[in-house]
């Protein structure tokens, strides 16, 4: 019986609140907080059991500290923006409360994400006697756990990992992003990067692609991007020689994105407009559909998985571990689309692992550092069943 404070009431925050509410034996009390209280109120009305709501500016450490001291949660579950990871971690340090997030820190003024800023909290969290669990969504998150599961159960050594993320759904808009537009566009327009033979290799954005036959989604074109789970998996997977991340995009999406880049709408630096400074990508975010609003008319499926090659008992082995998620089914269950669902469910399960003592430690951790088995079992129970194919 535990109390959780969920920070962030976007699409993912809604999923986390719904899924926590489905497990009252673990999450006996739920508080949902956001800068925009009306978002919390909308989610609160959708959930059958009572949950509390609150208003907070997650960038403001004293405000976060005051809320944590008032609520007295056992865990702060951060599904706000990646820019807000460090202020929320600072608040958890000050109050002595455990922390979980789904995406690593990204500075607002630079399109760059890496774990160094959060890993730097290791000694302080350890000394305070509290735990931080980083990147517990799907990718990062479940994709890391798929690697840990494969390492534990199927391989003596893993030599290569290709993480493949496909959204074959349709939301009916000419151009929209499935999660926060600002974060999404920053992520895919920066230079690609992968790890091979002991070193990082950089490429021009979207310059390498391949076709892959995704189960229940068909053959789709996937593009090599940099993604944060690569950074931690390189440190924790034995025998690794290469790891890459791939994501699918339709041609219409890429055409819109290219035009927006060409006219400067994806810029993250301020420009003067009618006597005041604006950041073009923030203005663009205001024009695009809210990702949470896409859910009602979303059709089709996602397929996200790990293609893993390595050695077992001296023999080469190849395995594909994946999940398929249906947009319409997600909406039917909790009024969400599959991108939010696949991020929010693992966040809830990670919180469950911490609160029930299955995963415990003092300091800062990535999910693959813990036993994957209890987490994998809960995925099958709570809406994200996984499938293994030996190739």
Confidence of residue 263 (pLDDT cuts 50, 70, 90): confident
Is pLDDT larger for residue 88 or for residue 256?
Answer: 88
Residue 132 pLDDT? 98
* Cα angle 297-6-23, degrees, rounded to a multiple of 5: 80
Distance CA 279, CA 267 (A): 7
Average pLDDT of the chain is 93
Residue 175 pLDDT? 75
Is residue 170 scored above 70 in pLDDT? yes
Residue 179 pLDDT? 63
Is pLDDT larger for residue 256 or for residue 321?
Answer: 321
Q: Nearest-CA neighbor of 308 among 296, 317, 299, 300?
A: 317
DSSP structure class, residue 172 = S
CB 291 within 8 A of CB 339: yes
Residue 149 pLDDT? 98
CB 224 within 8 A of CB 192: yes
Sorted by where each begins, the domain ranges of the chain are 2-138+349-354, 142-335
Is residue 75 scored above 70 in pLDDT? yes
Residue 253 pLDDT? 78
Confidence of residue 185 (pLDDT cuts 50, 70, 90): confident
Confidence of residue 271 (pLDDT cuts 50, 70, 90): confident
Is residue 87 scored above 90 in pLDDT? yes
**pLDDT tens-place string over residues 323-354:** 999 999 999 999 999 999 999 999 999 999 99
Burial class (CB in 10 A: 0-12, 13-18, 19+), 96: exposed
Is residue 265 scored above 90 in pLDDT? no
CB 177 within 8 A of CB 169: no
Residue 247 pLDDT? 94
Residue 295 pLDDT? 76
Residue 258 pLDDT? 79
* Cα angle 232-382-377, degrees, rounded to a multiple of 5: 60
Residue 178 pLDDT? 63
Is residue 13 scored above 70 in pLDDT? yes
* Cα angle 166-172-337, degrees, rounded to a multiple of 5: 55
Is pLDDT larger for residue 7 or for residue 188?
Answer: 7
Q: How far is CA 121 from CA 7, 58, 130, 199, 362, in A?
A: 20, 18, 11, 25, 11
Q: Nearest-CA neighbor of 132 among 159, 93, 175?
A: 93
CB 304 within 8 A of CB 216: no
DSSP structure class, residue 344 = H
Is residue 257 scored above 80 in pLDDT? no
Mean pLDDT, range 164-186, rounded to an integer:
79
- Residue 165, token pair as written in the block: 């993320």
Is residue 166 scored above 80 in pLDDT? yes
Mean pLDDT, range 123-141, rounded to an integer:
98
CB 282 within 8 A of CB 270: no
Is residue 209 scored above 90 in pLDDT? yes
- Residue 200, token pair as written in the block: 């990082």
Confidence of residue 369 (pLDDT cuts 50, 70, 90): very high
Give the β-pairing of 27-34 and 386-390. unpaired
How crowded is residue 54: how many other Cβ atoms within 10 Å of its Cβ?
A: 15
**Strands of the chain, DSSP E:** 2-7, 27-34, 52-55, 75-78, 98-101, 131-134, 157-167, 192-196, 199-203, 209-214, 218-225, 242-248, 271-273, 276-278, 301-312, 315-326, 363-366, 386-390
Confidence of residue 248 (pLDDT cuts 50, 70, 90): very high
Tokens 């975010």 label which residue?
285
Please give the share of the chain, as a percent, with pLDDT higher than 90: 77
Confidence of residue 264 (pLDDT cuts 50, 70, 90): confident
CATH number of 2-138+349-354: 3.40.50.720
How crowded is residue 321: how many other Cβ atoms within 10 Å of its Cβ?
A: 22
Mean pLDDT, range 110-130, rounded to an integer:
92
User: What residues does 115 pair with on adjacent strands?
Assistant: none
Distance CA 249, CA 167 (A): 8
CATH number of 142-335: 3.30.360.10
Please give the share of the chain, as a percent, with pLDDT higher than 70: 98
Mean pLDDT, range 235-256, rounded to an integer:
89
């Amino acid at each position: 019986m535990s109390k959780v404070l969920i920070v962030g009431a976007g699409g993912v925050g809604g999923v986390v609140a719904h899924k926590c509410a489905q497990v009252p034996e673990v999450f006996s009390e739920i508080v949902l907080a956001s800068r925009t209280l009306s978002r919390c109120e909308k989610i609160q009305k959708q959930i059958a059991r009572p949950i509390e709501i609150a208003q907070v500016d997650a960038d403001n450490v004293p405000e976060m500290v005051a809320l944590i001291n008032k609520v007295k949660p056992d865990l702060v579950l951060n599904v706000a923006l990646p820019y807000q990871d460090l202020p929320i971690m600072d608040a958890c340090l000050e109050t002595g409360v455990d922390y979980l997030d789904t995406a690593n820190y990204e500075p607002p003024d630079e399109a760059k994400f890496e774990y160094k800023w959060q890993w730097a909290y290791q000694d302080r969290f350890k000394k305070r006697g509290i735990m931080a669990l980083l990147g517990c969504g799907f990718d990062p998150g479940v994709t890391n756990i798929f690697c840990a599961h494969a390492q534990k159960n199927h391989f003596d050594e893993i030599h290569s990992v290709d993480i493949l993320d496909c959204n074959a759904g349709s939301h009916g808009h000419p151009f929209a992003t499935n999660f926060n537009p600002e974060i999404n566009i920053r992520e895919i327009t920066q230079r690609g990067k992968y790890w091979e033979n002991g070193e990082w290799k950089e490429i021009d954005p979207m310059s390498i692609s391949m076709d892959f036959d995704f189960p229940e989604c068909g053959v789709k074109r996937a593009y090599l991007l940099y993604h944060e789970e690569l950074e931690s998996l390189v440190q924790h997977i034995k025998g690794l020689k290469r790891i890459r991340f791939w994501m699918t995009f339709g041609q219409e999406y890429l055409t819109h994105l290219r035009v927006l880049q060409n006219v400067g709408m994806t810029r993250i630096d301020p420009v003067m407009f009618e006597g005041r400074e604006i950041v073009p990508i923030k203005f663009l975010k205001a024009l695009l559909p809210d990702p949470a609003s896409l859910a009602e008319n979303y059709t089709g499926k996602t397929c996200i998985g790990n293609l893993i090659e390595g050695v077992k008992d001296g023999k080469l082995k190849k395995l594909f571990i994946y999940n398929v998620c249906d947009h319409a089914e997600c909406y039917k269950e909790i009024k969400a689309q599959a991108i939010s669902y696949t991020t929010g469910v693992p966040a809830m399960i990670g919180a469950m692992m911490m609160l029930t003592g299955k995963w415990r430690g003092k300091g800062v951790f990535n999910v693959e550092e813990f036993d994957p088995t209890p987490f994998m079992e809960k995925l099958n129970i709570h809406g994200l069943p996984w499938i293994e194919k030996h190739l």
